[in-house]
Structure 1
């Protein structure tokens, strides 16, 4: 057997559940289930309400965004989407939010994201062209770990809280059925309207509410 033949038969390390713990939050009580991604070494977490095993589980795949999630940046809508998703799952009493480390800036990392933001502010580039100007991919995210986590939790199909059709397509490629995509629309403001329009026009996000322009700040 050659070295290349041996490589073909190496078992895919996938994600491994490490710990589960009760997590009371401002949005309700969740169970935090921690995983280790054997492919990348990333530590991942799913916040779970109720028993998620089965069909049509309300689910959010949330890409980490330090500036939006922690600092409340108005450049994007990430922080508000995170809060709305947690409230929706808590209200339903059953669901999963997968918080994906390694997805900062659509997968380019924090410092590169800040450099891209500077190009948008200084040179007028949109979020797509800013990444390209840095020689970086427009979207480098992968959802294999998210699918593995959902499967471990017994989720067979999801109602996916997302405006991004590509997330649903990625989940389906990795074996998790998307029964429905649930819109996650946040009112735009003057700071993020251009960014959101670029997501709609260049990244295929379903954002029909942008036509009215920015809402109240």
Structure 2
């Protein structure tokens, strides 16, 4: 599938200027599905913190089942039905646990990179009729401002070079390949639609090139 003009334009927002990220520490993290390993990283320039969650031996050279997940307070922690973020996060961790090996990269990039307060402003515009892309643009932002270069030092620290990427977003695959990572498989992560996220998911497909 060839990305739409809007989708192609937004690719540059996925891989902006280089961002330094330092490893901080790791610990065990018991979760409902398995006991994972939690790895903390910090952006020295901003103090912003990101984490990787791993299970099993991810450094053995075999492709790693992985999810790149951007923070969504409303979906991940508050169970919002407006998006598919929370269910995707849970489904990805369950899939990794079922396989006994994998990694999830949790990036602190709320609202496709515009921040929590601006995301709530965008929600207000959506309440008035705008779709997710129109709302971001009305606030002066690109449709997607996330920086996936943050993944590179995390992947290097964990010695991961090839991925089986759980995503519906082909632009994430493009971003990983631009970083020199090999994506050997796209693993769909499709969540059940509901009346509150129907337009959100439709816009993802029509304007951002997501595959459902």
TM-score (normalised: structure 2): 0.88
Report the equivalent of 1:151: 156
Report the equivalent of 1:88: 95
Deviation digits for residues 66-105 of structure 1 (CA, Å, limit 9, x no counterpart): 000000000001000000000000111110000001x111
Q: 82, 104, 121: which is aligned to 1:75?
A: 82
Structure 1, 152-161 or 167-176: larger mean CA deviation: 167-176
Gaps of 5+ in 2: 1-17
Q: Aligned-pair distance for 1:175?
A: 1.8
Q: 77, 99, 103: which is aligned to 2:106?
A: 99
Q: Aligned-pair distance for 1:37?
A: 2.4
Q: C-alpha distance in 2, partners of 1:19/1:115?
A: 35
Gaps of 5+ in 1: 1-11, 208-217
> Which of structures 1 and 2 has the larger relative contact order (alpha carbons within 8 angstroms, sep 6+)?
2
Q: Aligned-pair distance for 1:13?
A: 7.3
Q: C-alpha distance in 2, partners of 1:72/1:13?
A: 31
- Between Structure 1 and Structure 2, how many residues are aligned? 194
Q: Aligned-pair distance for 1:141?
A: 0.3
Could you tell me whether the CA contact under 8 Å between 1:45 and 1:100 is conserved in 2?
yes
Could you tell me whether the CA contact under 8 Å between 2:75 and 2:86 is conserved in 1?
yes
Are residues 13 and 203 of structure 1, via their aligned partners in 2, closer, same or farther at CA, if it must alter by over 3 Å? closer
Could you tell me whether the CA contact under 8 Å between 2:19 and 2:150 is conserved in 1?
no
Report the equivalent of 1:6: none
Q: C-alpha distance in 2, partners of 1:80/1:31?
A: 21
Structure number with bigger Rg: 1
